[in-house]
Structure formats: C-alpha cells, structure tokens
C-alpha cells in the first residue's frame, strides 16, 4: 500500500529558537535583496533557523534575502528585524536541513575556524600596483592604497575619517574580507579565503 506524500516540515521561528540556541560567529559572505543587487556582509550570530548580519544595505522587514556564507553556502530567508548596523533574517529550511546546519556550526567551532586572528604564516610582499578599489561597510566605493599583501590578508591605507570598524566586512578589489585591526595609517584585513599567489594581485589591486 502506497503511503501519501508529505511536505517537508518548516519549523516556526519560535520552535527553532527552542531547539537551537544562537551562537556567536564571524563569517563573511554576500547577500542579495529583492532588487537583485549584491552586497558584502558579515554574519555575527547564527542558529540553524536564523542569523544576524552586519550589512551596508538593510532592506525591509519581510523582504526575501539570499545569502552566500563562507563554509555554509547558500541560505535563503526573510528579513525578520532591522539592527543598528544590519539586519536579522530567518533561514527557510526543513528540519533535516536545520539539523545539518547545526552540525556544520558545531564543526566550525570545533575546528576553531570562527574568530580566528589574521593568519601571519603567509609571507607578505609589496604589490607592483598599490592602487585598489575598496567597498566600505556602508556601500561607499573609494580608492585606497595597498601597503602589503599576503595569501591571507592585506594592509590598507585610507584617510582616518574613512576607517571602517574592526570586524566589519569590506571588499578589496574583487576580494571579500574582514577588518581585523587598525594600524597607524589604515587597517589590516583578512581575506574570506586564501588567495592563490598567481592571482592575488589581479584579485586585489588595480582599478
């Protein structure tokens, strides 16, 4: 006897909160709002049913969001509430998918991927072309000077009034990254993923 097909069960956000506690994270990514424009973001806390993003453009409550988060991939949901520097969104997923996300978050924490300091093991060098485009957390696109580069990060010189906060998500050239500290004439960033030495300058410097 054939059994009737059942739809995947989507847990209400209140049920999700009872099942999964939110944890602090530090993951870079990009997100797309209903207007189909993409922006860099930083996920600062997360559970399998929702997450909070530091984001340059907030959108409206109830608006559909598609996010691509490092280590976790594509996540879709709706803006649940606006924050001072971004927004919180739900994650539309079946119970099975949310359990998988819970396992991924646990794995990330256990592997100490979250809240890592900038990797200093990679040798730094001065790029041939030091000019680069920089997208700030508020979406402003400016020209900056790259002081030095490595496979994992860079030092960037900008005017003091344009200095982004530590922890904020920015894009240097074509490369998403995170501000890890301020220095005398600018700030240092950590790339969202290691760069191949043959392509790092093409991905970071040049207008």
**Residue ranges of E strands in 102-140:** 131-135
List b or e across 99-118, with b for residues whose CB sees 16 or more CB atoms inside 10 angstroms.
eebbeebeebeeeeebeeeb
Fold of the domain spanning 131-204: Thrombin, subunit H (2.40.10)
Mean pLDDT across the stretch 79-86?
A: 91
Task: Answer for the pair 89, 50: CB distance below 8 angstroms, yes or no.
Answer: yes
Strands 50-54 and 38-47: what pairing?
antiparallel
Dihedrals phi, psi of 84, to nearest 5 degrees: -60, -35
Domain boundaries of the chain, sorted by first residue? 13-110, 131-204
* pLDDT for position 109: 66
Upper half-sphere CA count for residue 202 (Cβ side, 13 Å)? 4
Three-state SS at 65: strand
**Most distant CA pair in the chain: distance in Å?**
74
Provide the H-helix boundaries in the chain: 13-19, 95-110, 200-204
Three-state SS at 15: helix
Residue 113 predicted with pLDDT over 80: no
- Let me know if 76 is exposed, middle or buried by CB neighbors in 10 A (0-12, 13-18, 19+): middle
Fold of the domain spanning 13-110: Thrombin, subunit H (2.40.10)
Question: Worst-scoring range by mean pLDDT, 56-60, 84-88, 108-112, 140-144?
Answer: 108-112
Domain 13-110 matches domain 131-204 at the CATH topology level: yes
Per-residue confidence band for 198, with pLDDT thresholds at 50, 70 and 90: confident
Mean pLDDT of the chain: 81
Three-state SS at 160: helix
What's 48's DSSP letter? T
pTM higher than 0.75 for the full model? no
Question: Worst-scoring range by mean pLDDT, 23-37, 54-68, 130-144, 156-170?
Answer: 23-37
């Amino acid at each position: 006897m054939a059994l009737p097909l059942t739809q995947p069960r989507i847990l209400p956000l209140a049920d999700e909160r009872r099942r999964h506690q939110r944890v602090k994270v530090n993951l870079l990514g990009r997100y797309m709002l209903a207007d189909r424009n993409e922006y860099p973001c930083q996920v600062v806390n997360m559970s399998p049913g929702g997450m909070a993003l530091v984001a340059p453009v907030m959108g409206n409550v109830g608006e559909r969001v598609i996010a691509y988060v490092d280590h976790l991939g594509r996540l879709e949901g709706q803006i649940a509430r606006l924050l001072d520097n971004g927004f919180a969104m739900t994650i539309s997923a079946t119970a099975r998918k949310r359990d998988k996300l819970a396992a991924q978050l646990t794995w990330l924490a256990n592997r100490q991927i979250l809240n890592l300091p900038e990797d200093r093991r990679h040798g730094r060098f001065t790029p041939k072309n030091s000019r680069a485009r920089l997208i700030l957390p508020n979406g402003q696109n400016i020209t900056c000077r790259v002081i030095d580069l490595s496979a994992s990060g860079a030092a960037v010189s900008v005017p003091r009034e344009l200095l982004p906060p530590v922890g904020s998500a920015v894009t240097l050239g074509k490369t998403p990254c995170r501000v890890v500290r301020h220095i005398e004439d600018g700030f240092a960033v950590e790339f969202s993923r290691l760069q191949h030495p043959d392509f790092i300058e093409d991905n970071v410097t040049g207008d």
